[in-house]
Structure 1
Amino acid sequence: MGDLLFLAHRSPFPPDRGDKIRAYNVLKYLAERKRVHLLAFADDRRDLDDGGLASLTASRKVFWRDKSRVAATLEAMAQGKPASLTAFDSTAMREGIADILTRETIDTIYVFSGQMAQYVPADFAGRVIMDFCDMDSLKFADYAKDARGPMRWLMAREADKLRSFERATADRVHASLFVSAAEAHLFRTMTGAKNVQVIENGIDTDFFDPEAAFKIVGERGPLIVFTGQMDYRPNVEAAAWFARDILPVIRVAHSTTRFAIVGRNPTDAVRALASDAVIVTGEVADVRGWLAAATCVVAPLKIARGIQNKVLEAMAMARPVVASEPAAEGIDHDGTILSGARVDDIARAVTDLLGDKRRAEALGRSAREQVKRRYGWEARLAPLGALIGKAAAARNAA
Structure 2
Amino acid sequence: MAGEILFLCHRIPFPPDRGDKIRSFHLLRKLAEIAPVHVGCFGDDARDLSFAPMLAEIAKSQVVLQRNGSRVTGGLRGLARNQPLLVSLFDNPAMHRWVTRTLGDRPIRAVVAYSVQMAHFVPVLPTATRFFMDFVDFDSAKYAAYGAEQSGPMGWINRREGQKLLAFERDVAMRADVSTFVSEAEAAMFRAATGTGIDRVRAMENGVALDYFDPAASFATLTLAERGEGPLIVFTGQMDYRPNIEAVESFARQSLPLIRQSRPDARFAIVGRAPTSAVQALAEIPGVIVTGGVDDVRGWLAAADVVVAPLRIARGIQNKVLEAMAMARPVVASPQAAEGIDATHGAHLLVAPDPSEEAAMVLALLGDTDRAQALGKAARQRMVERYEWDRTLAALPELVMGGTLA
TM class by smaller structure = over 0.9
Quick check: 1:251 aligned with 2:260?
yes
With the length of structure 2 as denominator, give the TM-score of the two structures. Answer: 0.95
What secondary structure sits across from 1:38 in the alignment?
strand
How far 1:392 sits from its partner (Å)?
A: 6.2
Quick check: 1:190 aligned with 2:187?
no
Which residue in the other structure is 1:136 paired with? Answer: 139
Q: Is the 8 A contact 1:108 1:391 kept in 2?
A: no
How far 1:197 sits from its partner (Å)?
A: 1.1
Alignment of 1:58-69 (within 5 A): 58-69=60-71
What secondary structure sits across from 1:203 in the alignment?
coil
What secondary structure sits across from 1:78 in the alignment?
helix
How far 1:341 sits from its partner (Å)?
A: 1.5
Looking at structure 1, the residues matched to 367 and 186 of structure 2 have their Cα atoms a distance apart, in angstroms, of: 35
How far 1:54 sits from its partner (Å)?
A: 2.5
Which residue in the other structure is 2:111 paired with? Answer: 109
CA deviation profile, 1:190-230 (whole Å, cap 9, x unmatched): 00112111110000111001111111113132000000000
Which residue in the other structure is 1:313 paired with? Answer: 323
Which residue in the other structure is 1:361 paired with? Answer: 373
Quick check: 1:11 aligned with 2:12?
yes
How far 1:334 sits from its partner (Å)?
A: 2.7
With the length of structure 1 as denominator, give the TM-score of the two structures. Answer: 0.97
Looking at structure 1, the residues matched to 93 and 382 of structure 2 have their Cα atoms a distance apart, in angstroms, of: 45
Q: Is the 8 A contact 1:204 1:377 kept in 2?
A: yes
How far 1:73 sits from its partner (Å)?
A: 1.6
Quick check: 1:199 aligned with 2:207?
no
How far 1:390 sits from its partner (Å)?
A: 1.6
What secondary structure sits across from 2:202 in the alignment?
strand
Which residue in the other structure is 1:230 paired with? Answer: 239
Looking at structure 1, the residues matched to 404 and 106 of structure 2 have their Cα atoms a distance apart, in angstroms, of: 15
Quick check: 1:332 aligned with 2:362?
no
In terms of mean alpha carbon deviation, does 311-320 or 120-129 score higher?
A: 120-129
Quick check: 1:33 aligned with 2:34?
yes
Looking at structure 2, the residues matched to 327 and 302 of structure 1 have their Cα atoms a distance apart, in angstroms, of: 8
Looking at structure 1, the residues matched to 6 and 31 of structure 2 have their Cα atoms a distance apart, in angstroms, of: 10
Q: Which residue type is aligned with residue 365 of structure 2? A: L
What secondary structure sits across from 2:390 in the alignment?
helix
Q: Which residue type is aligned with residue 28 of structure 2? A: L
What secondary structure sits across from 2:294 in the alignment?
coil
Which residue in the other structure is 1:239 paired with? Answer: 248
Q: How many residues align?
A: 394
Q: Is the 8 A contact 1:112 1:130 kept in 2?
A: yes
Q: Is the 8 A contact 2:110 2:401 kept in 1?
A: no
- In structure 1, the gaps of 5 or more residues are none
Looking at structure 2, the residues matched to 106 and 193 of structure 1 have their Cα atoms a distance apart, in angstroms, of: 27
How far 1:55 sits from its partner (Å)?
A: 2.8
Looking at structure 2, the residues matched to 351 and 105 of structure 1 have their Cα atoms a distance apart, in angstroms, of: 59
Which residue in the other structure is 2:295 paired with? Answer: 285
What secondary structure sits across from 1:274 in the alignment?
helix
Q: Is the 8 A contact 1:6 1:36 kept in 2?
A: yes
Q: Which residue type is aligned with residue 45 of structure 2? A: D
In terms of mean alpha carbon deviation, does 64-73 or 341-350 score higher?
A: 64-73
Q: Is the 8 A contact 1:107 1:391 kept in 2?
A: no
Which residue in the other structure is 1:20 paired with? Answer: 21
CA deviation profile, 1:93-124 (whole Å, cap 9, x unmatched): 11111111121111100000000001111244
Q: Is the 8 A contact 2:130 2:401 kept in 1?
A: no
Q: Is the 8 A contact 2:398 2:404 kept in 1?
A: no
What secondary structure sits across from 1:349 in the alignment?
helix
What secondary structure sits across from 1:273 in the alignment?
helix
Q: Which residue type is aligned with residue 269 of structure 1? A: A
Looking at structure 2, the residues matched to 44 and 332 of structure 1 have their Cα atoms a distance apart, in angstroms, of: 35
What secondary structure sits across from 2:28 in the alignment?
helix
Q: Is the 8 A contact 1:107 1:392 kept in 2?
A: no
Which residue in the other structure is 1:173 paired with? Answer: 176
Looking at structure 2, the residues matched to 164 and 331 of structure 1 have their Cα atoms a distance apart, in angstroms, of: 28
Looking at structure 1, the residues matched to 328 and 275 of structure 2 have their Cα atoms a distance apart, in angstroms, of: 26
Q: Which residue type is aligned with residue 204 of structure 1? A: A
Which residue in the other structure is 2:216 paired with? Answer: 211
How far 1:185 sits from its partner (Å)?
A: 0.4
- In structure 2, the gaps of 5 or more residues are none
Alignment of 1:254-265 (within 5 A): 254-265=263-274
Which residue in the other structure is 1:158 paired with? Answer: 161
Looking at structure 1, the residues matched to 55 and 356 of structure 2 have their Cα atoms a distance apart, in angstroms, of: 46
Q: Which residue type is aligned with residue 165 of structure 1? A: F
Give the superposed CA RMSD.
1.2
Identity of aligned pairs, percent? Answer: 52
Query: Residues 389 and 93 of structure 1: is their aligned pair in 2 closer, same or farther, counting only changes over 3 Å?
Result: closer
How far 1:391 sits from its partner (Å)?
A: 6.4
Looking at structure 1, the residues matched to 110 and 291 of structure 2 have their Cα atoms a distance apart, in angstroms, of: 42
CA deviation profile, 1:347-377 (whole Å, cap 9, x unmatched): 1111111111110011000000000100000
